[in-house]
Structure 1
Amino acid sequence: MPKDPVPVLAAHDLNVYYGSFHAVSDVDLDFGRNEITALIGPSGCGKSTVLRCLNRMNDLVSSARVEGSVTYHDQDIYARGVDPIEVRRRIGMVFQLANPFPKSIYDNVAYGPRVTGMKVPDMDDHVEQCLRQAALWDEVKDKLKESGYSLSGGQQQRLCIARTIATQPDVILMDEPCSALDPIATAAIEDLMLELREEYTIIIVTHNMQEAARVADRTAFFTARPDETTGNRTGLLVEYGFTSQIFEHPNDPRTEGYISGQFG
């Protein structure tokens, strides 16, 4: 299993429960700096659950319990005294469906720095820089006071990316960011991910294996193990490697079966 010498983010012996339901079992993953890692696998295999553990979003689910460790620069983000709000500032999240705030385009981007008290020398310059990084500035520079809802689906998703990077995170998590977009908007988001990789570590969940093959440096394949008694399915990591190896020479027959379309 490939490991970065100094991983930015790492999960070790990660187990997740929702009440008595064991949702994810014994996941070990290291995420290297300035890389894109794709989490793939069939529905119900725990990909999004693992992603949400990486910035403590599962804290917002009352029945969720996380065991094991998730370390960010060797600091356990679940340790006593760690502020989950600060965790989410450093490890941002872009969701499956674009969710701009009911505010202007400008205020969507400025929101994070304002509520976190982040010191920004010039907010106008900061908003412009974030929109440029999200490849959206040229399309919205003359209508910054208009609602974020006025944008197309693909533009809204790029606005959400601009909003995420406005707090200057180190890592960006993306939960199926292109699943609701048309092919042209998808290509724009994928191109943007490749550009953002120069400054950020990116981890994506995707059902689109072609997308993983196009953008990811490394790919982790998950599957689900059914409980013979209850029928509940527990997600587990099957294989993790460089994307070319996972797609061309998988080591586990379950990976090969999924990649070749035998199940999923």
Structure 2
Amino acid sequence: MKIALIGYGKMGKAIDAIATAKGHEVILKIDHDSQHLLDKEHLGQADVAIEFTTPETAYHNIQKCFEANVPVVSGTTGWLEQLPEVNALCEKGHHAFLHATNFSIGVNIFFEVNKKLAALMAAQPQYNVWMEEIHHTQKKDAPSGTAITLAEQLLASVDRKKGWVNDETQQADMLSIISKRIDPAPGTHTIHYSSPIDDITITHTAHSREGFAAGAVVAAEWLKGKAGVFTMKDVLNL
């Protein structure tokens, strides 16, 4: 499989190493110095593009992939208010698009555990719930995209929380997400349920970027040759 990498930072380099080890060919490595390669002529040679860039550039990059009719896997977070528009463009043009806030297989299983626990705790108002996420200091967005996904899943079941706030304030009707930036943390997400009697805590801790990168390659392999809008739930049949 021929892969175009849009974004060649630490994650892009990790994806490059895993894809190459699996026998794929990375034919494009696009960073801020090679934006001129982001066109139909160059992208069109790829079987799939994998995009990990910035919230400011993600929409443009994905649009360029659609123009080249190349399936695109995107892991950029912090721009998701534009996601419905991108999904509509994908469907209208019969393109292929897969976005995930986290490609780790373990995290996607953790998402399912979070939804199940939230459903069980919905009828237990004696428990206050709050979240904590820890990432490296170079992460640009806070809270993380993964934390927002976890929060939205939780809020869908626990109706005593009306929304989330990114601070340590323990408000009765709001879900507090505490964001910490500590090197060299690849990513830890914890959901706490606390009552006067006991606590229940679930945590996912990443040990390296390898799990995220490997999942992105698996997603790209799965997306090749398809059309439509997909998520990691489709890839993993969750």
Q: Fold-level match, TM-score > 0.5? A: no
TM-score w.r.t. the length of structure 1 is: 0.25
